[in-house]
Structure 1
Amino acid sequence: MSKADKKQDIRRLSPEELKAFFVQNGEKAFRAKQVYEWLWKKSAHSFESMTNLSLGLREMLKEYFELNGVTVDQAQLSNDGTIKSAFKLHDGHLVEGVLIPTEDRMTACVSSQVGCSLSCKFCATGYMDRKRNLDAAEIYDQVVLINQQAMEKYGMPLSNIVFMGMGEPLLNYANMMEGIRMITSPEGLNMSPKRITVSTAGIAKLIKKLGDEEVKFNLALSLHAANDEKRDRIMPINETNTLEALRHSLNHYYRKTRNKLTFEYIVFYNFNDTLQDAEELYQFCKRVPAKVNIIEYNPISEADFLNTEEDRLEMFRKYLEERGVTVNVRRSRGKDIDAACGQLANKKHDDHVITQA
């Protein structure tokens, strides 16, 4: 690599490539390990902060490389303690991530793309254009920054990570996988993959690929209807990834990994909240071993869906549980700052802002 080349983001280099760079430039090979530790384990966002390197070495790194760290552009605090952050990327794009605190866990909800291309009818992000994929380091940085918020605000580190923010993680497959590799690596954050859940709208061939790679993290399918006609209406991806195709890929994934599977099911009023809908979901659960998370709907201005009534939700839940399905009802967090499920669309609430770049 010459100085005339366009500067590369140093975090795109492997340890071997870093080592080769130092040797080619007359430096000791062990410098690569020092720098790699600064980049990942210590989450350095500048070469200046690498204080065990000589000034000359730091200047050389600045000549050859960029370090495109993610920053918090703005953070908003919900009345229930949820923190939503607008993360600014090196090219000016914004993505959102959320810290969801409870008594016994701290969960980070992270984004995988700037915008989304899937156009799910009930999701605010689905009405945005997909600008680009996040790279592995940008995914990693969200986790680091949300962990800092958890420690500063609540005195607890992150316990869980969910890929349920902006974008479809499986359509950014390589970067998502590399981001998780570094989050779980002893050279990175050393988090257990069992504490990570990747949520997908359902791309059958990539779910199968996850199984073939025998991943260690958990998988959640945004199902929302166990009926192709209804699912087509709210999730256009279902037209090319039918429930039958998803069933085959999910069973393949489970056979290969034995990891937990979860079906996420938003119960919309007068759309998918009848006992017939519950029966269809039960029949699907019989064919794919999974628990069900029933999720409150969070209305958005772009769509006219409504959350179901409490008695219908309870009837739906009871029907499934009586047939042996494990069901959790997930109550929304952060609705007042548009931080809840399906609401992420870079909306600002000035009265809730706690930090601003």
Structure 2
Amino acid sequence: MAKTNLKGMTVEELQDFIVSLGEPPYRARQIFRWIYKGVTDFEKMTDLPRTLVEKLKELSYIDKIGIYKKFQSRKDATVKYLFLLSDNNIIESVKMEHSYGVSVCVSSQVGCAMGCAFCASTIDGLKRSLNSGEMVDQILVIQEDIKKRISHVVIMGSGEPLLNYDELIKFLNIINSPLAFNISYRRITVSTCGIVPEIRRLADEGLPITLSVSLHAPEDDLRDKLVPVNRRYPILELLDACKYYIIKTNRRITFEYALISDVNDSKECAVKLARLLKGLLCHVNLIPLNPVRERDFMRSKPENIRLFQEILRHYGISVTVRQEMGADIEAACGQLRRSIMNEVKR
């Protein structure tokens, strides 16, 4: 009989498991606390009776991912982590430090199926989705490593989170729990390429998280080429879902826009984007493109970035240029993982 992994269970799921062992429900909360203190040995859960410890050892285990390598930026406090999973897959996470706290960028899948034209994560396609325990472990292991509390989480690493929806929701519930990390939903950002049905589904969850939508183009013809999922969920359909999200949650949406030289950074693109988003409760995050070796795209010139930002502001659109962090350690999603996978296989 296969043992059950307890990491990644919600309190309610863990309670069901504990009750099935003939134990009182409150034991689930005790075990849950221990798990997210980083304890993986049932013998060290000192408030559990011996009979329960023996049952847990026989029927369950607590998985933990391991740090394969980490890379410290020489420019700032950014650290990229490569984690080795139990099936020898590699995932990436990034730790960033800001004036307001420590944030971690979490992966939701191994690789990505979305095929965005300028992204390294998707080059080798999707290997598999992560379970909620593997997602939580990225925060837990980094927090243990740096000896600092993680205050903010962005699910912007490799993968499309909304295509791993059920595990994503479990992950959000766990990291928000006062028994685990107690990270406010308002300090959590979920990124998506624009999976319309799941945006609406997420809106109905009633979680006050920030939704970040990877837009990258102001019109369908261009977005079809840069973000292929646009062929299934075109821009106006996507914006309708975004409006629904805003109405249901009363939360401002962030639109990510990677500025690519001579592709989507023209004055015309800026004006079209401003007119497209006019009147929407939103913020635009302009991202100077992280060049990828396997792609031909180049980042916009600084003067073009400034002009693009000025045009959006002229139209009353809230806009910032993302601060570049960890460029010297390939902190952009997917860049480092591919170069390490062959080493892992060897």
1:129 match: 125
Contact 1:124–1:343 (8 Å) recurs in 2: yes
Which of 298, 313, 316 pairs up with 2:308? 316
Distance 1:129 1:46, change over 3 A: farther
| Cα offsets for 1:37-73 (capped at 9, x unmatched) | 2123x23223233233355543331211122222212
1:67 match: 62
The percentage of counterpart residues that share the same residue type is 37
The TM-score with structure 2 as length reference comes to 0.91
Aligned counterparts of 1:157 and 1:139: Cα–Cα separation in 2: 17
* Residue correspondences, number: 339
Contact 1:106–1:150 (8 Å) recurs in 2: no
Deviation at 1:91, TM superposition (A): 2.2
2:191 aligned with 1:199? yes
2:194 aligned with 1:221? no
2:335 aligned with 1:340? no
Residue 199 of structure 2: SS of its match in structure 1? helix
Aligned counterparts of 2:325 and 2:214: Cα–Cα separation in 1: 18
2:20 aligned with 1:35? no
Contact 1:212–1:256 (8 Å) recurs in 2: yes
1:92 match: 88
The TM-score with structure 1 as length reference comes to 0.89
Distance 1:292 1:303, change over 3 A: same
Structure 1 unaligned regions, length at least 5: 349-357
Report which stretch shifted further, 115-124 or 138-147. 138-147
Aligned counterparts of 2:3 and 2:189: Cα–Cα separation in 1: 34
Deviation at 1:301, TM superposition (A): 1.2
Alignment of 1:43-62 (within 5 A): 43-54=38-49, 57-62=52-57
Aligned counterparts of 2:25 and 2:207: Cα–Cα separation in 1: 32
| Cα offsets for 1:127-181 (capped at 9, x unmatched) | 1221111111111111122223443xxxx52221111101000000111111011
Deviation at 1:210, TM superposition (A): 1.2
1:355 match: none
Amino acid at match of 1:148: E
Alignment of 1:67-216 (within 5 A): 67-79=62-74, 80-151=76-147, 156-216=148-208
Amino acid at match of 2:68: D
Residue 11 of structure 1: SS of its match in structure 2? coil
Residue 336 of structure 1: SS of its match in structure 2? helix
Distance 1:21 1:281, change over 3 A: closer
Distance 1:98 1:23, change over 3 A: closer
Report which stretch shifted further, 294-303 or 207-216. 207-216
Deviation at 1:86, TM superposition (A): 0.8
Residue 45 of structure 1: SS of its match in structure 2? coil
